[in-house]
Amino acid sequence: MPSASSASRPRLVLATLNLAKARELAAHLGDIPYEVRVLAELPGAALPEETGDTYRANALLKARAAARFTGAWALGDDSGIEVAALRGAPGVRSARFGGPGLDDAGRCALLLEALRDVPPAERVARFRCVVALVDPAGGEHTAEGFVDGVITDAPRGRHGFGYDPVFLYPPLAQTFAELAPEEKARVDHRGRAVRAARRFLGMH
Ligand code: IMP
């Protein structure tokens, strides 16, 4: 019997230049019969600007670019946090909330300030993620995942990134930054979206 050598498996490229995100995506994909590569590790690779108005549009922009560059299957994702009291903002603009001068801590502080007078019961928020898969023939598939929580009144925890320190996950009564990475991975929006997308790769 021929073995499942990497030469016989289809290639799947993760359309990200961020190695930490690539590791997370690969962990969510789990054991799949694809030879998984990361765009960041391919010489000359680049990604287009995230000019879409939706997570889906941006995830597809990234996946299409990586599929064109490699001729392989490509997986792109886009995500953000939606705060009900801010009518869904910052949403698809989460990474740019407050402008280019802010870092993650600055964006969390700005969000807390925007919610200063908002009572606990009205601080609901949702992380949302869309994963796009583009196959070598140009076929496009998308899947979504989300997780609901509450914005705290101060940052808590040292893990994670982005808005994790201010996002309380009520079922565990901890912020995403207080959870160990593997605990967050079991419940977060990105994991849910990637696991939903596995069916397009023939996985269940
Ligand atoms: P992108 O999907 O890499 O474009 O990231 C969008 C932005 O949304 C990030 O820069 C973060 O600000 C925020 N975000 C998305 N997912 C998470 C998460 O799991 N934790 C914290 N912040 C997140």
The best mutation among 161, 187, 188 to test binding of ligand 1, ranked by most ligand atoms within 8 Å of the C-beta, falls on: 161
Dihedral of the CA atoms 70, 77, 179, 96 (nearest 10)? 120
pTM of the model: 0.94
Q: Does residue 103 have an active-site annotation? A: no
pLDDT exceeds 90 at position 204: no
Multiple choice CATH, 4-201, 3.30.479.30, 2.40.50.140, 3.40.50.720, 3.90.950.10: 3.90.950.10
Residue 38 has pLDDT above 90, yes or no: yes
Is-cis flag, bond preceding 90, omega within 30?
Answer: yes
Residue 1: which pLDDT band, with cuts at 50, 70 and 90? very low
State mean pLDDT over 186-197. 97
Domain boundaries, the chain: 4-201
Residue 149 Cβ inside 6 Å of ligand 1? The answer reads no
Kindly state if the Cβ of 34 falls inside 6 Å of ligand 1: no
Render pLDDT for 111-162 as a digit per residue (tens, 0 to 9): 999 999 999 999 999 999 999 999 999 999 999 999 999 999 999 999 999 9
Among candidate residues 31, 53, 77, 78, the one labeled active-site is: 78
* Lowest-pLDDT choice from 19-23, 54-58, 114-118: 19-23
Q: Looking at the CA of residue 90, tell me the nearest atom of ligand 1.
A: 8
